[in-house]
Chain A
Amino acid sequence: MKARKYGSFLTAAITATVVTGALLFVPLKPLAGQDAAKAGGKGGGKGGAKGGGYQPPAGPTPRKADGKVDFSGYWARPYTPDMSQFATDMNGKPFPNEDRAARGQIAPPPPPPDPNAAPGRGGRGGGGGSRVLPYTAWGASNWKAYDPTNGDYTGACLPFGLMRSINSPDPLQVMQDGNFMAYLFEQNTWFHLFPIDGRPHTKGIGTWFGDSVGHFDGDTLIIETVNFNGKTRLDTNGHPHSDQLVLTEKWTRPDLGHVTYEMDVHDPKTYTQDWKVIDDMAPRQFVLHNDQHIMEYSCEENNKALYEGRIKPPKYDDQ
């Protein structure tokens, strides 16, 4: 099933490349084994069976001495700037398409399909465009008002926060021992360390990445994170959350080379109902690269856009 999905993606990629001829380019001196890192897990993997691209190492799910699944590795992840595209309610039903011209508004019915149009990739529920998440009044107002031109915390090199870091295109290295797991994000050289032995949350103050605790349910690692400071956003497009966010991540590793990733959002201040992004499409699958490791990334090194005033720092209520 997955092989068919990746094959479809490769076909769509080639089609899109031909269609967008004006943007064609060739990479400089491609490095061995790098292509799927660039693919970020979309084509990175079995798509290579047709196109000759990267294929992750094959083998059974690795385990620790105690039998628990080991998620350690360098994971190329799909850049997910707009989580709403892949969001559904907790029963798997997609939300309505969003009108691009009016943020937060449901799109008008689409025109009838052109019978002569070439087949496209499509997406969950049609088109793969942005969806209207189930906002509360506060959430809708926040989403409608958001304009990164008026202040962009990531442009100011402030911490992305947990979900936006997971959604970023830069690689993630995971290290795991018996009691702890560490996300090592290449993006800005951030880390997030948390226990995975079933202990409860601490009663800490709100933080950028929140307070995470994990436990195993069979071969699935479930990570729940609370105590966010409410200063971050879920994705590059800026979908909102509050300090009431409870984020649940579910990691499974069906084989050596892949992780499937699901996340559930519970945030009663921002959303009227829980929603999730689940890996029933290739975009939420992570691909192993055991020939690489993350590199240093110093966001403050030369952040000219901020220094020269083209990006404004954010303003928070407690400042």
Chain B
Amino acid sequence: MKAKLAVFAMGLLSAASMFAHHSFSAEFDSTKMVTLKGTVTKVDWLNPHIWIYLDVKDDKTGAVASWQCEGGAPNSLTRNGWTKNDLKKGDAITINGTLAKDASKTCNASQVALPDGRRVFAGSSNPDLAPKD
């Protein structure tokens, strides 16, 4: 049990390195959360934020919508153990995030569930979602 807690605490501490290229509230509405289950179509591993593009299928209508979600900066994600190849085109993932204020299909990713079941912190700077430092 102690070991598990230590691992979780390590994760919490790791997230204390937030990715504050700009004020979170300038772009996102912290009151509007979203969960997206979809298939990765592209990943931009670029500054100042990585971007994950995914197609999300509506289970009821079958319609597919294209979304884009912002993650942390490549340098910070690298220090947290991510690599450019951890997400690939065709991967089925789930993103928990925060919607953009402009109502576009854009989110700030706080957590990504990978195909192998791991859930990883995506570098969100949302002060209400990111683990506190």
Contacts and interface: CB of A to CB of B under 8 A. Distances in A.
Do A and B truly interact? yes
Interface of A: 10, 13-14, 16-18, 20, 23-31, 34-40, 42-44, 51-53, 78-79, 81, 148-149, 152, 154-155, 157, 168-170, 186-188, 236-238, 283, 295-299, 301-305, 308-312
Contacts of B119: 24-26
Secondary structure of the A side of the interface?
Answer: loop
B8 A79 contact: no
Contacts of A309: 102
Contacts of A310: 27, 100-102, 104, 106
Interface in B1-40: 5-23, 25-27
Interface size of B as a range? 35 or more
B51 A304 contact: yes
A157 B23 contact: no
A168 B23 CA distance: 11
B79 A17 contact: no
B75 to A, nearest CB: 5
A298 B73 CA distance: 10
Nearest to A238: B23
Contact of A299 (B5, B47, B131): B47
Given A53-B13, A78-B133, A301 B48 contact: yes
B41 interface: no
A28 B9 contact: no
A303 B48 contact: yes
B2 to A, nearest CB: 9
Given A23-B129, A154-B20, A308-B106, 10 more contacts: A17-B11, A30-B10, A37-B17, A38-B13, A39-B133, A81-B20, A155-B23, A169-B20, A302-B48, A312-B26
